[in-house]
Amino acid sequence: MSLQPFHLAIPVRDLAEARRFYGEVLGLPEGRSAAHWVDFDLMGHQLVIHHAPGHAGTAAFNPVDGESVPVPHFGVVLDMASWQALAGRLREAGVTFEIEPTIRFPGEPGEQATLFFRDPSGNALEFKAFRDLGQLFAR
């Protein structure tokens, strides 16, 4: 299956703060930018942060496998080694997890490693991995 890159634009309260977070903490390469927005390469996808003074994230949650999952959220499905490396990078950077790195749905179809955290503007991100990517849409 060949995937096309997606484009996602999100609000951030402080452009410089978000630029540091996405560029330095997450290690995303920066693309084009202007006074009020910055493009990042989110593992082949286009993530754009847009300055939105006063943005404070979200307070909505949905119960999933015994956890309160923040909604909305976004992220990328990684291979297991990359997911483990990201979890370590986030820990080393002192990022607070909304949901600690864990295995969700153990022994069931769709078993996955997952972790949730928020950027400095309160936007929720989830990164996950499957030992068997064929389980991505398992029921």
Task: Indicate the pTM of the whole model.
Answer: 0.93
Tokens found for residue 82: 């990359």
pLDDT at 57: 81
pLDDT one-digit tens code per residue, 70-95: 999 999 999 999 999 999 999 999 99
> What CATH number is given for 62-135 in this structure?
3.10.180.10
Q: Which residues does 121 contact at the CB level (< 8 Å), separation at least 6? A: 10, 11, 12, 13, 14, 17, 18, 52, 55, 56, 57
pLDDT at 1: 58
The class level of CATH for 7-51 reads alpha beta
Tell me the mean pLDDT in the region 115-123.
Answer: 96
pLDDT at 76: 96
Domain spans, the chain: 7-51, 62-135
pLDDT at 78: 96
**Looking at the chain, how many residues does it have?**
139
Q: What whole-number percentage of the chain has pLDDT above 70? A: 99
pLDDT one-digit tens code per residue, 91-114: 999 999 999 999 999 988 889 999
Best-predicted range by mean pLDDT among 27-31, 129-133, 135-139?
A: 27-31
User: Given a cut of 80, is residue 58 above it in pLDDT?
Assistant: no
- Among residues 8, 37, 42, the alpha carbon closest in space to that of 23 is found at 42
